[in-house]
């Protein structure tokens, strides 16, 4: 099958891969666009994984303000060169990550950051839930570990389903970007602010103190 310039152009728009790679992928798949997309994704992800160990000290601090100023996010995303850090592709990626953090409210960047005391507390809660449901004691540990994996998927940024494409995790989205941008990309840290967060608890504590003082008067 003859590979036309229009086919190459369409594949490039779908994947962001270089023109020559798009042409080669179409040739390998006899012009099947969907198979060519899969081929480029597989090759790109493999190449991206090789880049993961390279030093990423450049990048950008991105921000996102949501819900009329009620939620704000700052996130540091690193890449290898200042040139890539200034590209629209990278800047858009940083913004997408900040927007995701605003919507999904993760607690950690990666699972290695989840502390032992947090995991112990979660395991204890899950185990007690299983006992309350009457689950046999011998299967509770296995169920608990399954729930810990679910906890990672809910609390860890890189393991959350990407809000703009829930079929892939945020890490998978970033890996695909590494394949097209050509540099190692890492999320280093973030902070998320929510208007009024913690104030209600302080008000309740203050009210309790006032009540206690009144009772002792």
142-196 pLDDT, tens digit each: 999 999 999 999 999 999 999 999 999 999 899 888 878 888 899 999 999 999 8
The model carries a pTM of 0.69
CATH architecture of 1-51: Orthogonal Bundle (1.10)
Contact 187, 75 (CB under 8 A): yes
183 C-beta neighbours (distance < 10 Å), count: 20
Domain boundaries, the chain: 1-51, 115-153
Mean pLDDT on 107-123: 95
- Whether domain 115-153 has CATH 1.10.286.20: the reply is yes
Between 196 and 101, the more confident residue is 101
22-59 pLDDT, tens digit each: 888 899 999 998 888 888 777 665 455 555 556 577 99
C-alpha to C-alpha distance for 201 and 179, rounded to whole angstroms: 45
58-78 pLDDT, tens digit each: 999 999 998 789 999 999 999
């Amino acid at each position: 099958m003859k590979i036309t310039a229009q086919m190459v152009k369409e594949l490039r728009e779908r994947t962001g891969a270089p023109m020559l790679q798009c042409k080669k992928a179409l040739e390998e798949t006899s012009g099947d666009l969907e198979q060519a997309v899969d081929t480029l994704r597989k090759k790109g992800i493999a190449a991206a994984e090789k880049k993961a160990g390279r030093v990423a000290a450049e990048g950008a601090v991105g921000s996102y303000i949501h819900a009329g100023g009620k939620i704000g996010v700052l996130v540091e995303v690193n890449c290898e060169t200042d040139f890539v850090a200034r590209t629209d592709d990278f800047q858009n990626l940083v913004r997408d990550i900040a927007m995701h953090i605003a919507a999904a409210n993760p607690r950690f960047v990666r699972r290695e950051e989840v502390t032992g005391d947090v995991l112990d507390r979660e395991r204890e809660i899950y185990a007690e839930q299983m006992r309350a449901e009457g689950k046999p004691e011998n299967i509770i540990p296995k169920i608990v570990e399954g729930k810990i994996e679910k906890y990672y998927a809910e609390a860890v940024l890189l393991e959350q389903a990407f809000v703009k494409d829930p079929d892939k995790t945020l890490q998978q989205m970033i890996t695909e970007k590494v394949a097209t941008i050509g540099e190692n990309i890492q999320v280093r840290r973030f902070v998320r602010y929510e208007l009024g967060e913690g104030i209600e608890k302080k008000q309740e504590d203050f009210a309790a103190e006032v009540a206690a003082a009144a009772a002792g008067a």
